[in-house]
Structure 1
Amino acid sequence: MAASVRERNAPAAPPRAAKRPGGRLRALDGLRLVAALMVAAYHYGGRGGEVTDAWGTSPARQFPTLHEFFAYGCLGVQVFFVISGFVICMSGWGRPLASFFASRASRLLPAYWVAVVLVTAVFALPTVAYEAVSPSDALVNLTMLQQPLGADRVLGVCWTLWAEIRFYALFALCVVLPGANRHRVVLFCAGWTLAAAIAQAANEPLLDLVLMPEYAPFFVGGIGLYLVHRDRRDACAWGIVGVSWLIGQHHAVRELWHAPSVDAFSYRSSFGIVLVVTLGFAAVAAIALGWLQWANWRWLTVAGALTYPFYLVHEHLGWVVIHALHRGLHLASAPSFALTVASMLLLAWLLNRFVEEPLTPRLRSALSRAR
Structure 2
Amino acid sequence: MTGLTFTQSSQPSVSVPVRRPRLYVLDGLRLLAALFVALHHFAGTARANRPGNPIWDRPVSEIMPNVFRVASYGWIGVEIFFVISGFVICMSCWGRTPRQFFVSRVIRLYPAYWFAILFTTGVLAAFPGVWERLAPREVLVNLTMLQSGSRVGNVDGVYWTLWAELRFYLLFLVVVAVGLSYRRVVLFCCLWGAAAMLAPSAGWPLFSLIANPDGAWYFIAGLALYLMYRFGQDLLLWGILGMAWLMGQQEIGHRIDNVEGVSEWRGAVLIFTVFLLVMVAIALGKLDRVRGKWLVTAGAITYPLYLLHYAAGTTVISRLRDDLDARLLICVVLAGFMVLSWGVHRVVERPLAGVIKRGLDSSFARLKG
Instruction: Output the CA distance in 1 between the equivalents of 2:99 and 2:125.
Output: 38
- 2:310 aligns with one of 284, 309, 315: 315
Alpha-carbon displacement from aligned partner over 1:300-346 (angstroms, at most 9, x marks no partner): 1100000000000000111122123213xx21111011101101111
Does residue 301 of the first structure (1) align with residue 296 of the second (2)? yes
Verify the 8 A CA contact 1:227 1:234 in the aligned structure 2: no
- Kindly provide the amino acid, as one letter, of the partner of residue 70 in structure 1: A
Instruction: Output the CA distance in 1 between the equivalents of 2:227 and 2:331.
Output: 38
Verify the 8 A CA contact 1:46 1:266 in the aligned structure 2: no
- Kindly provide the amino acid, as one letter, of the partner of residue 25 in structure 2: A
2:5 corresponds in structure 1 to none
1:47 is paired with a residue of what secondary structure? Answer: coil
Does residue 287 of the first structure (1) align with residue 282 of the second (2)? yes
Verify the 8 A CA contact 1:257 1:267 in the aligned structure 2: no
- 1:45 aligns with one of 38, 43, 46: 43
2:162 corresponds in structure 1 to 161
Instruction: Output the CA distance in 2 between the equivalents of 1:228 and 1:256.
Output: 30
Instruction: Output the CA distance in 1 between the equivalents of 2:17 and 2:294.
Output: 32
Verify the 8 A CA contact 1:36 1:310 in the aligned structure 2: yes
2:141 corresponds in structure 1 to 140
Instruction: Output the CA distance in 1 between the equivalents of 2:202 and 2:158.
Output: 28
Instruction: Output the CA distance in 1 between the equivalents of 2:13 and 2:291.
Output: 35
The more displaced of 218-227 and 119-128 is: 119-128
Does residue 270 of the first structure (1) align with residue 257 of the second (2)? no
The more displaced of 48-57 and 100-109 is: 48-57
4+ runs deviating over 6 angstroms: none
1:177 is paired with a residue of what secondary structure? Answer: helix
Does residue 29 of the first structure (1) align with residue 30 of the second (2)? no
Cα gap change, 1:351 to 1:196, in 2 (>3 Å)? same
Aligned residues: 351
Cα gap change, 1:346 to 1:13, in 2 (>3 Å)? closer
The more displaced of 267-276 and 343-352 is: 267-276
The more displaced of 198-207 and 219-228 is: 198-207
Matches within 5 A, 1:1-371: 9-12=13-16, 14=18, 19=20, 23-48=21-46, 49-51=49-51, 52-125=53-126, 130-173=131-174, 175-257=175-257, 266-327=261-322, 330-371=323-364
Instruction: Output the CA distance in 1 between the equivalents of 2:349 and 2:141.
Output: 21
Alignment gaps of 5+ in structure 2 = 1-10, 365-369
Shift, 1:200, TM fit: 2.5
Shift, 1:69, TM fit: 1.7
Shift, 1:289, TM fit: 1.6
Shift, 1:131, TM fit: 2.8
Instruction: Output the CA distance in 1 between the equivalents of 2:179 and 2:269.
Output: 35
Instruction: Output the CA distance in 2 between the equivalents of 1:282 and 1:8.
Output: 24
Verify the 8 A CA contact 1:133 1:154 in the aligned structure 2: yes
2:149 is paired with a residue of what secondary structure? Answer: helix
Cα gap change, 1:193 to 1:341, in 2 (>3 Å)? same
Instruction: Output the CA distance in 2 between the equivalents of 1:30 and 1:145.
Output: 29
Verify the 8 A CA contact 2:55 2:130 in the aligned structure 1: no
Shift, 1:233, TM fit: 3.0
- Kindly provide the amino acid, as one letter, of the partner of residue 43 in structure 2: G
- Kindly provide the amino acid, as one letter, of the partner of residue 302 in structure 2: T
Instruction: Output the CA distance in 2 between the equivalents of 1:126 and 1:232.
Output: 53
Shift, 1:128, TM fit: 7.2
Instruction: Output the CA distance in 1 between the equivalents of 2:98 and 2:231.
Output: 25
Alpha-carbon displacement from aligned partner over 1:102-141 (angstroms, at most 9, x marks no partner): 0001000000001101111121126778531100000000
Instruction: Output the CA distance in 2 between the equivalents of 1:240 and 1:361.
Output: 38
2:4 corresponds in structure 1 to none
Instruction: Output the CA distance in 1 between the equivalents of 2:149 and 2:34.
Output: 24
Instruction: Output the CA distance in 2 between the equivalents of 1:118 and 1:358.
Output: 18
Alignment gaps of 5+ in structure 1 = 1-6, 259-263
The alignment's TM-score, normalised by the length of structure 2, stands at: 0.90
- Kindly provide the amino acid, as one letter, of the partner of residue 244 in structure 2: S
Verify the 8 A CA contact 1:50 1:265 in the aligned structure 2: no
Instruction: Output the CA distance in 2 between the equivalents of 1:348 and 1:333.
Output: 22
The more displaced of 335-344 and 355-364 is: 355-364
Instruction: Output the CA distance in 2 between the equivalents of 1:57 and 1:235.
Output: 51
Shift, 1:9, TM fit: 4.7
2:72 is paired with a residue of what secondary structure? Answer: helix
Shift, 1:255, TM fit: 2.1
Instruction: Output the CA distance in 2 between the equivalents of 1:120 and 1:163.
Output: 22
Shift, 1:268, TM fit: 1.8
- Kindly provide the amino acid, as one letter, of the partner of residue 32 in structure 1: R
- Kindly provide the amino acid, as one letter, of the partner of residue 356 in structure 1: E
Shift, 1:360, TM fit: 1.3
Verify the 8 A CA contact 1:122 1:128 in the aligned structure 2: no
Alpha-carbon displacement from aligned partner over 1:187-232 (angstroms, at most 9, x marks no partner): 0001101111111232432221110112111000000000000122
